[in-house]
Amino acid sequence: MLGHKTMKKETLKYSASKLYNKGILLAIDGLPENQFKNVLFEIVPTNTDCVFEIHAKFMGVRMESVDVNVQVCLCIYFSSMRFHEFLEFFFRICYSSNMRESLS
């Protein structure tokens, strides 16, 4: 098809410490900053436009997964809720009781 680009869908991986140092991640509820190096976030494209799966891993073990719709994020961004408040909410969801137990 003329003018149609096929985009390569690839998984992006970021450590919590890298996201924290860039100011994207503010905190993970109940997890000290010195443990952020053990947390990995994978952003995986789906077959649905504007929707990504974000997987949280702690020491290589998948803890949580959530689907994120970019359009919903933009609505939140431009609404009264600040985007960093949304991210705080998201990362609280990613932090499960299993992760707390593994730190004990």
Per-residue pLDDT tens over the stretch 56-90: 999 988 888 888 888 777 776 667 556 566 666 66
Q: What's 58-97 look like in SS3? A: ECCEEEEEEEEEHHHHHHHHHCCCCHHHHHHHHHHHHCCH
Q: Has residue 4 been placed in a domain?
A: no
Within a domain: 56: yes
- Domain membership of residue 42 (yes or no) is yes
Q: Looking at the domain assignment, is residue 7 inside a domain?
A: no
**Residue 29 forms part of a structural domain:** yes
Residue span of the structural domain in which 49 resides: 12-98
Residue 51 lies in a domain: yes
In a domain, 73, yes or no: yes
Q: What is the pTM of this model?
A: 0.63
Number of domains in the chain: 1
Paired tokens of 33: 């900053």
The DSSP call for residue 14 is E
Is residue 35 within 8 Å of residue 57, measured between CB atoms? no
The answer to whether residue 78 is domain-embedded is yes
- φ and ψ of 48, to 5 deg: -95, 130
